[in-house]
Copies of this chain bind each other. A is one copy, B any other.
Amino acid sequence: MHDELARFEAYLRTRGLRMTRPRETILRTFLETEGHLSADALLRETRKVDPRIGQATVFRTIHLIAEAGLAREACNDEGARTYEHLAGHPHHDHLRCSQCGRIIEFCDPEIEQRQAAIFAQFGFEPQGHMMELTGVCPECRRAMVARRSRQ
């Protein structure tokens, strides 16, 4: 946590920007929340600490946090963009149920390795990737089967 605050401040300095009270409140709140968070959800959480923080500031700050390498976009399927922080949170990808929205996080070393190979094959300098598998989770499958047999 301290580590992240320091890293954020360092990043801001390299860009001639300042670590301010609202920025610190937003970052602390963000780091305390696990899971995927939209800007709006982050605004609500942040306002529990300081109710006069503005929406625009949250949008501006979450961008800065991502640029500083402390967060990344999680999913962007529809509706609001969501972010997840990277503190004590190793890299992973997402498996999502299209029926109930449940998200499972996983990491597959073989896939990661192949991805690196593809960057190399096309001469790209790697920056990142996003992979999301979509399907129907076991619970929802059961519910679907039950519904079908009832009819």
Q: How far is the CA of A128 from the CA of B124 in the complex (A)?
A: 26
Once the chains bind, are A133 and B123 in contact (CB under 8 Å)?
A: no
Q: How far is the CA of A136 from the CA of B77 in the complex (A)?
A: 24
Q: How far is the CA of A142 from the CA of B26 in the complex (A)?
A: 38
A55, CB-defined interface residue at 8 Å: no
Q: Quick one: which of B76, B125, B136, B138 contacts A135, CB cutoff 8 A?
A: B125
Chain B residues with CB under 8 Å of A122's CB are: 95, 104, 106, 137-138
A133-B124 contact, Cβ under 8 Å, with A108-B118, A111-B111:
yes
Chain B residues with CB under 8 Å of A77's CB are: 76
Binding site for B on A (CB under 8 A): 76-77, 95, 97-98, 104, 106, 108, 110-111, 114-115, 118-119, 122-138, 141
